Structure 1
Amino acid sequence: MEYENNLILKRLFTKNTINDLVKNRKNDTFTYAINRYLNETKAQKYNDLISKIYKLSGKQYRMEYFYKNTLLNKLLLGKHSLKTTTALTELAIGKSKADFVMINGKGIVYEIKTELDTLERLENQIQDYYKVFKYVCVVTCEEHYEKLRKKLLNTKVGIYVLTKRNTISVKKEPEEEESFLDKKVIFKVLRKKEYEKIIFNNIGYLPKTSQFKYYSECYKLFDEISIEVIHKSMLNELKKRINIDIQDYKNYVPYELKFLIYFSQYKKKDYENLKIFLQSEFGG
C-alpha cells in the first residue's frame, strides 16, 4: 500500500502531469489521486487541490519529489538567491545521478535517501560525486539518521535530516574534499560547448582534426589544464545551464511546484498559462 501511494504521488508531481493539466485541464493520474485522497473536490481551484495533496504527501508519503522541493525552497530560495545560485537535478556523474546540486561560489551535491530508500549504493554514489564536486551531503529522514551517522563518521560528507515537521535539520555540514577530483569524469559531465569554452579560454585554440578524433583530441588539451582551473571553470559553465525569469517565477509559481517549474524552462506565456490554470476549477 505504501509503495502504491508513493508511486501515485511520484507520477503526479512530474513535468508531464503538470503540463498536461495546464494544457488540457485534465489528467488521469491527477484525477485518480484527488479522488483517492481528498473529499469534496468539486468546485475547488487546482491551486488548492495541489496544495492539499502536497500537504498530505508531507504527512504520510514523503517521496523523492517532496525532498527535492523542500531543498529548493529552504536552501536555494530561503538561504541563497536565484541571481547568484543555480540548482541542477539528475546530473549524471560516473555511474550515479546526483539528485540535487547547488552551485554558487562552490558546488554541493545533495544525495537524497527517503524513508523508502536503502543505503546500499550510497558509498559508490559518494565516490562518484567526489570526482566532480568538493562537497557532498546526504539528506535523509530521522529513521535513517543514526545508521548514516555511523556510516559517515570519519568522512567529510554532510548529513541533513528532513524532520517530521518538514524542516531541514543540519546534523553535520559537508567539508571540502578535493583529493578525488577527476578530470576525465568532469569532462564527461560537461556538454560540448562547455568543454570547448574551457579549452579555448585556457589553451587558446581547439583541435583541428577529424570529427571521429575530435572528442579525444579535446580531452588531450583539457587534460593539460590544472584541476583547480578545470573545477572552477566547470562550476561557471554549469551555473549557466538554468536561466529563468526570476520575477515571473516568484510571482506565479506556488511553493508546491517550485522544483518542477524551476527545471521546466518556462517562458512568459507559460507562466501566464500556469496562473490561469491554478485559478481555474477542477471538474471532479
Structure 2
Amino acid sequence: MTNSIMLSDNVPYKISQFFRTSNFDSLIFKNDSSLLNEILLDTKIKKDLKGKNFFYAFDYFFNIINQHYKNEYVFKNIIANRLIKGRHKLANVAYMNEFHVLNSICDVAIFNGTSTAYEIKTGLDNLDRISSQLTDYKKVFEKIFIVCDDSKIKILEQTLDKDVGIIRLTHRKQMSTIREASSNIENLSISALFKSLRNSEILDYMKKKYDYIPDISPKKTRNDCLNLFQKMDIIEAHNVFVNILRKRELKNEEKRSIEKLPFSLLALMLNIRPSLRRLKIISSRLENQIL
C-alpha cells in the first residue's frame, strides 16, 4: 500500500498513537480529529489519503509504522493476524494482550491446545527484565517465544535458555522461526496457574467439578479452591487452566464482525473486545472518507 516515503519529523510516532485504545475511541466514537489533523499537516500523507476512507487509512498508517517506527503494536498485530486469524481462523483459541503472570505482564498469550507466551522485544526495547520475565512465564506457559527484530537475534541466541524459542519479525509482516520452543511442562507451578485465573472462572470450575459451595468469606473461598486445584497433578492442572482460558475466545458474531475490519486493527479489537453494537459503529465509521 505504501512505499518507503520521507515523512515529517515525529509523524511516525504520532501515527502509532492511533492504535492506542484511547485515541482510537476518540476518533471513532467522539469524532475527535485533533490527532488526525496533526498528521495531515504532512503534505505527502494528505495527498495519499485524499478521497480515501478510514478503512484504507488505518492499513496505510500501519504500513508506515511498520517501516519507520516498529513499536510493540506492530508486533502484536502481526502475531494476531498470522497466528490467530491465519492459523486458527479465530476459532477455538483465546488471544490476550498484557496477560498478568505473577510479577510480570506477558505481551501476548495464546491458549488453544496448550499455553504459549510471546514476549516482544522491539528495536526500541532493552533486555534488562527478560530474565525475571522468563522466570515467571516458565511457571505458567508450556511454550515461550521471544519475538524480535534482527537487532536482537544474535544476543538472544547467546543468552536465552535453549527451551525458549525465538521468532524474527520481518519487514514484510511475516514471522520467521529462528529457534523452536520446547515444552516447559515440567517447570509449571500449580499455584502460579491458579493465580493467573479470575476468581469467577475458578469458582465456576470448582462448582461444576466438585459441587463446591462458596463460603461467605471470599478469602476462604479462594483458599478452598486453591486447595482443590492443588490436588491435581501438573498435567491436569495445566489442561484445566488452558480450557478455562479458552472460554474467553470470541463469540461467533464477534469473529464475523472483526474479520471484516482492516488487517491493521485486529490486535486492537482483540484487546478491547468491543460489543457488537460498538463493532457496528466502528465498521460504519471506517467507511467514511478522511478528506
Normalized against structure 1, the TM-score is what? 0.90
Question: Which residue does 1:25 correspond to in 2?
Answer: 31
Q: In structure 2, which of residues 14, 17, 33 is the aligned counterpart of residue 11 of structure 1?
A: 17
Unaligned runs of 5+ in 1: none
Q: Which amino acid aligns with 2:26?
A: D
Cα drift, residue 195 of structure 1: 1.3
**Cα distance in 2, alignment partners of residues 166 and 91 from structure 1:** 23
Whether 2:240 is the aligned partner of 1:221: answer no
Q: Deviations over 1:9-28 (max 9, x none)?
A: 44220222222222233333
Say whether residues 1:248 and 2:254 are aligned partners: no
TM-score norm. by structure 2 comes to 0.88
Cα distance in 2 for residues equivalent to 1:247 and 1:195? 29
Q: Is 183-192 or 56-65 further displaced after alignment?
A: 183-192
Structure 2: where are the runs of 5+ without partners? Answer: 1-8
Matched, 1:237 2:221: no
Write out per-residue CA displacement over residues 114-150 of structure 1, whole angstroms, 9 at most, x where no aligned residue.
0000111111111111111110000000111011111
Deviation digits for residues 167-223 of structure 1, max 9, x if unmatched? Answer: 211111111012221122112111112111333344442453534433223322322
1:105 CA displacement: 0.7
Relative to structure 1, the CA distance from residue 180 to residue 12 in structure 2 (aligned partners, 3 Å threshold; closer, same or farther) is same
Q: 1:96-111 alignment to 2 at 5 Å? A: 96-111=104-119
- 2: distance between equivalents of 1:263 and 1:101? 11
> Residue 68 of structure 1 is aligned with which of 48, 67, 76?
76
Which 10-residue stretch deviates more, 24-33 or 89-98?
Answer: 24-33
Kindly provide the amino acid, as one letter, of the partner of residue 25 in structure 1: N
Letter in 1 for 2:33: N
Q: 1:132 aligns to what? A: 140
1:123 aligns with 2:131: yes
Following TM superposition, by how much is the alpha carbon of 1:78 offset from its aligned partner in structure 2, in angstroms? 1.2
Shift of 1:161: 0.2
> Who is 1:81 aligned against?
89
8 A contact 1:38–1:53 mirrored in 2: no
Matched AA of 1:195: I
> In structure 2, what residue type is equivalent to 1:20?
S
Give the Å deviation of 1:43.
4.2
CA distance in 1, matches of 2:37, 2:249: 31
1:57 and 1:83 map into 2 onto residues whose CA distance is 29
Measured in 1, the distance between the counterparts of 2:12 and 2:188 equals: 36
The CA deviation at 1:101 is 1.2
1:197 aligned partner: 204
Equivalent residues of 1:139, 1:162 under 8 A apart: yes
Which deviates further from its counterpart, 210-219 or 116-125? 210-219
* TM-superposition CA deviations, 1:81-134 (whole Å, max 9, x none): 312222111010011111111111111100000000011111111111111111
Q: In 1, Cα distance between the equivalents of 2:62 and 2:41?
A: 14
> How many aligned residue pairs are there?
281
CA 39–6 in structure 1, closer or farther in 2 if over 3 Å, else same: closer
What letter matches 1:27 in structure 2? S
Q: Report if the CA contact (8 A) 1:242-1:263 is conserved.
A: no
The separation in 1 between residues aligned to 2:111 and 2:226, in whole angstroms, is 24
- The structure-2 alpha-carbon separation of the partners of 1:44 and 1:164, relative to structure 1 and needing over 3 Å to count, comes to closer
